[in-house]
Structure 1
Amino acid sequence: MEEFSDIGSYIRIPCQQIKLRENEQKSHPALVEAIAEKLKANGRNYLPLIVEEVDEDEYEVLLNADVLEAAQKAKLDFVWCILADEQRRKQIEVEAKQRFEVNILTASEKTIAEMLDYIKSVNPSFRQIDPEQAAKAIVENRSETWKSFRPLTKLRCQIGEKKLKTLETYFCL
């Protein structure tokens, strides 16, 4: 494993030592091709991948996976990365707008409605939700005893089991 002092460092890592996260969705081929063309022309990436070391000389992409896909397509041997760790993963996800830390048990009705409105704008499966109505139902029924988001499915505000995973990305308990 890398020394702790390497965390946050800008390092060059062989492409074959970096893997996509298991649940990582592949980037659109047109996007990968466009990035690959720039990488071929420059011979390197300027936007670093954010990676976490999962084993000795084995890394997993936390952010900018499309750059890795493009580097592989461009047949680059190495890519520039910033090394992160588990502790910094959450911060990276927040900074990259992949995760928010809005506590659904303490946030105002307005904040919850604004977050639901944002989710609705980026996730088509939330389009039937009325953010104000759902936020009101959440605030009126929330309880410090909630250990999961499952009670939301009983509030009759269009939040069902299938939406819980998405909500966990934007809210915490």
Structure 2
Amino acid sequence: MARWKPGAKDRLHAAALELYAERGFEQTTVTDIAQAAGLTERTFFRHFTDKREVLFGGQDQLRQVFVDGVAAAPEPAPAVDVVANALQAAASYFPDERRQSSRTRQTVIDANPGLQERELLKLASLTQSIAVAVGERGVPEPQATLAAHTAVTVFGVAFVQWIEDGEQRSFGDIAHEIFEELRSLTSPPL
């Protein structure tokens, strides 16, 4: 096995996504993934705790990007502007070269109720982290929680649009447009 080649984690990730899309998540084993990547199971477990982590391993980094975006928002700013800043910070986590693997990942998740549940838990945890970060800026409840839910809702809508077949706009542009749509819902008509 070619264990000495660099990029083992990326190769395992790519092999897993391909196999999950081809065979299904439940039908794919860690052995299958390791073999497809030209590595051993032991190497797989050095990088991932289980085969679900291939899909959810970036959760902590995404959470940190949002939290850092909240912290970096200008002072003073309304809570809604703070989370808009966090959404723009999150755009760095979704460069265009990540779009196809994100599409595949979402297709795999959508086909498996257990993975859908895990995705919902991830989003709930993200919401809580954002609410705490917004609260640390002095925003009282329930505004901090409402702002956090707003950010995650806009994130979800923007992500679905970003991974649509044929979509060319950047994640940041889409998130900005969705956020402005939301603002227009709460603005009085002229």
What is the TM-score of this pair, normalised by structure 2? 0.23
Larger radius of gyration: 1
What is the TM-score of this pair, normalised by structure 1? 0.24
